[in-house]
Amino acid sequence: CITGRLLLCSLFFFPSTVVGNTLEQQRQDFLLAERLIEQGNESAFLNLSSTLADYPLYPYLQYQWLKNNLLQTDKIPAFLSAYKNTRYADLLRFKWLNYLANNERWSDFLRYYKKSDNTVLECQFYWANYKAGNQLLALNEAKRLWVTGDSLPNECDTLLSALVLSPLLTSDLIWQRFELALKKNNRSLASYVQHLLDKPGQDIAEFWLQVHERPALIQQSLFLSGNERHGRIFAHGVDRMAKSDLELAINIWDCRKRSFIIDNQTVQGLERRLALALAHARDKRAYDRLNQLVAVDKEVREWKVRAALLEQNWQHVAHALTGLTIEELQEPQWQYWQARALVESGYVLLGESVYNQLSKDRSFYGFMAADAVNQSYSIADKPVFLAGNELETLAQQTDFKVIQELVMLNREAEAKRQWWFAVNKLPREQLMIAAKLAQQWQWDQVAILTLVKADYWDDLALRFPVNYLSQVENNAYLQHLDPAIIFGLIRQESMLDKYARSAVGARGLMQIMPETGQQIAHNLNEPWQAENSLFNPDINIKYGAFYYKQLLNRFDGHFALATAAYNAGPNRVAKWLPNASPVPADVWIETIPYKETRKYVTSVLSYAIIYQQRIQRNVLKMKKLLFDVRPY
């Protein structure tokens, strides 16, 4: 719990005149004031809150009252002015503007509106302009909002209805949104837009919807039509078919694409997706297909290199690398493959020269390069330098006093929201100080992410904490694992936040899914406690280490495969294994189809190398972890 630590920090950072009964009494009065809001006891609340004007959470308290009392027309503008630099000003503004819109107080809405990326507020703002007589402005902005494949919020309905009734909504705009909706697989929106077309257009759109659901219809003779709209339907059907039967989709496209009138942008877009799909499927035809593309971007350039690696054709690899931009060629990833291609092509001295230079980089590719030329790993450690009382000065800023009080009241989620509001206003130098402050509070994840915002990477104690060392070492011993590997997984999965929870429900330091945790408990002959037991570091690390060892056993001790399986699942990794001959591990990792998993594997393994220094071990070598990937 961070509360005790922050209490000590507060005693240090707050002036002695504030610490003690006064501050503690303010906390108790704040909690009482919140209860009065819940009870609807306005007069008692107003009397009590007036005594808290100098308390750090006073704006938060006033926000809680005002958001439930939006009729306080005089008090809300005063709050927005007095506390415009707080997080709660924009939160209240959003609620008040919604209230004004719902009550059709358009002149007040326009007076207090502030430019926003929020679609609801944008729609309300332009409708307010429409009602104020600025119809042309409103309808032109409605056209901009219209062009999306996503369903817009209900608050946009009135504005869009006015657009639909106006001559500004052309047939081209209707077709544009219809097609965008299908690309987003938004069937309901496409059906709605379909009904805005004339009768012939509705019939074409209906067939397009049928092809969207049943792409095999593109094989029918109906598609001999020279109608350009049919050409786009054909391309859309091929695109949809490729998701379930890539081979058939490519055959149909190559055989019949010249039978249709299809604009060049659609052709090139589909050719790109088919070529990338072949590469993601680890199909050795991908290189030739990517090589034929006219319009290329970063993703295509990089996958052309990977496709050449799949072939293990080093002449093709060297040629594909020449297609990267100068900036891309400077990235450690592609420097490594330049060196590898030079060595494999017989230019050993040139390749080793590139390896030697790259070996100075603290990254997966830098460590691989160091192994290639038998160099020691370069793991520079330059902690953030703090001068004088910089930590105390930052902690005394109003925004950070608010954070400390929220934590003292056990409102960690709100405290972290306030943290990100506060640090978003800081210059780079102060971001680095803020990261050190979070480190002192043992907010490891927050400290790491704050230092990332500062674009500073060399404070290794901050970026790679060694909390939970005893649990990691004990479970590493039980599972015959190196503790640095477990730390690498924890660092990647949760940044050492024991309360981390993913969008899909994975929990804790090693992000265990509840059903996986339950199965592990069964395997260990332990009673399954509850889903939230996974927030317990002892249980989470025990289960995570056990599960990783299971994966390692399944994939014959191959750390890259086990690590990929921890992220993407073992069944998926099994599909990525070579069919015939072994593949070098670096090539296998580079050609993992999923960007997330590819980055995951390189991160975990490089973090493990760094962690072995942090825990004062020197056992792991990247080349020993990464033997050839064999067919299984």
- DSSP code per residue over 161-199: HHHHTSTTS-HHHHHHHHHHHHHTT-HHHHHHHHTTS-H
In a domain, 53, yes or no: yes
Inter-residue contact 460 to 446 (CB < 8 Å): no
Q: Is residue 17 part of a domain?
A: yes
Whole-angstrom CA distances from 259 to 21, 209, 221, 234, 269 are: 84, 21, 11, 10, 18
Contact 520, 541 (CB under 8 A): no
- Domain termination site, one of 67, 95, 119: 119
Low-confidence ranges of the chain (pLDDT < 70): 1-21, 221-226
421 within a domain of the structure (yes/no): no
Q: Residue 50: inside a domain, yes or no?
A: yes
Instruction: Answer whether residue 514 is part of any domain.
Output: yes
Residue 234 contacts residue 223 (beta carbons within 8 Å): yes
How is residue 555 annotated by DSSP? T
Residue among 546, 557, 553, 550 at smallest CA distance from 524 = 546
Give domain status of residue 126, yes or no.
Answer: yes
Same domain for 524 and 596, yes or no, is: yes
As a whole number of angstroms, the distance between CA 25 and CA 307 comes to: 67
> What's residue 223's pLDDT?
58
Task: Examine the domain organization and report whether 619 and 560 are in the same domain.
Answer: yes
List the structure tokens of 441.
């509070």
User: Does 133 share its domain with 112?
Assistant: no
Distance between CA atoms of residues 19 and 6, nearest Å: 13
Contact between residue 102 and residue 117 where contact means Cβ atoms under 8 Å apart: no
| 519 and 586 belong to one structural domain | yes
Query: So what's the pLDDT on residue 21?
Result: 52
Residue 17, Cβ neighbours under 10 Å: how many? 8
72 and 151 assigned to the same domain: no
How far apart (Å, rounded) are the C-alpha atoms in residues 381 and 622? 20
> What domain count does the chain have?
3
Nearest to 351 by CA among 361, 369, 339: 339
Q: Are residues 97 and 107 in the same domain?
A: yes
In a domain? residue 274: no
- Measured in whole angstroms, the distance separating CA 6 from the mean position of its chain's CA atoms is 30
The answer to whether residues 144 and 62 belong to one domain is: no
What letter does residue 454 receive in the DSSP assignment?
Answer: T
- Over the stretch 82-92, which tens digit does the pLDDT of each residue have? 999 999 999 99
Q: Supply the angle between the helices 428-440 and 444-453 in degrees, to the nearest 10.
A: 170
Q: List the structure tokens of 135.
A: 């119809």
pLDDT value for 201: 94
Q: How far is CA 613 from CA 439, 491, 563, in A?
A: 20, 15, 20
Asked whether residue 66 is domain-assigned, the answer is yes
485 with 598, same domain? yes
Which of 159, 185, 216 is the C-terminal boundary of a domain?
A: 159
The rounded distance, in Å, linking the Cα atoms of 163 and 393 is 54
Say how far apart CA 415 and CA 429 lie, in whole Å: 22
Per-residue pLDDT tens over the stretch 412-465? 999 999 999 999 999 999 999 999 999 999 999 999 999 999 999 999 999 999
Buried b (16+ CB within 10 A) or exposed e, 419-441: bebbbeebeeebbbbbbbbbbeb
Cβ(509)–Cβ(541) under 8 Å?
yes
Instruction: Name the token pair of 379.
Output: 């793991």
Residues recorded for the chain: 632
Please answer whether residues 22 and 52 qualify as being in contact, where contact means their C-beta atoms are separated by less than 8 angstroms. Answer: no
In DSSP terms, which residues pair with 507 in a beta bridge? 501, 512
Q: Rounded distance, CA 558 to CA 628, Å? A: 9
- Residue 300 token pair: 């295509």
What's 490's domain CATH number? Answer: 1.10.530.10
Structure tokens at 165: 């009734």
Alpha-carbon 106 to chain mean position: 37
Q: Kindly give, in sequence order, each residue whose CB lies less than 8 Å from that of residue 93, ignoring residues fewer than 6 positions away.
A: 80, 112, 114
Q: 73 and 143 share a domain?
A: no
Please tell me the predicted confidence (pLDDT) of residue 500: 96
Neighbours of 20 (CB within 10 A): 11
Identity of the amino acid at 330 = Q
Report CA dihedral (420, 425, 426, 427) to the nearest 10 degrees: 130
Same domain, 126 and 115: no
Are 540 and 508 in the same domain? Answer: yes
Lookup: tokens for 340: 């590898």
Q: Which residue's structure tokens are 């330091």? A: 509
Say how far apart CA 337 and CA 587 lie, in whole Å.
Answer: 10
Residue 269: HSE in the Cβ half-sphere, 13 Å Cα cutoff: 11
Asked if 3 and 397 count as a contact pair (C-beta separation under 8 A), the reply is no
Domain final position from 119, 142, 175: 119
| d(C-alpha 468, C-alpha 494), whole Å | 13
> Residue 28, Cβ neighbours under 10 Å: how many?
10
Give yes or no for a contact between 554 and 570, defined as CB atoms under 8 angstroms apart. yes
CA distance 482 to 477: 8
Those residues whose C-beta lies under 8 Å from the C-beta of residue 381, and which sit 6 or more positions away, are 458, 459, 460, 461
Rounded to whole angstroms, the Cα distance separating 174 from 197 reads 7
27's tokens: 């906390």
Give phi and psi for 629, each to the nearest 5. -90, 120
3-class secondary structure, 76: helix
Residues 51 and 138 in one domain: no
Coil/strand/helix, residue 457:
coil
> What's the DSSP call for residue 507?
B
Cα distance from N-terminal residue to C-terminal residue, the chain: 46
Measured N-to-C along each axis, helices 469-479 and 483-494 cross at an angle, to the nearest 10 degrees, of 120
User: Residue 263 CB: number of other CB atoms within 10 A?
Assistant: 12
DSSP 133: T
Domain, as residue range, for 153 = 120-159
Share of the chain above pLDDT 70, in %: 96
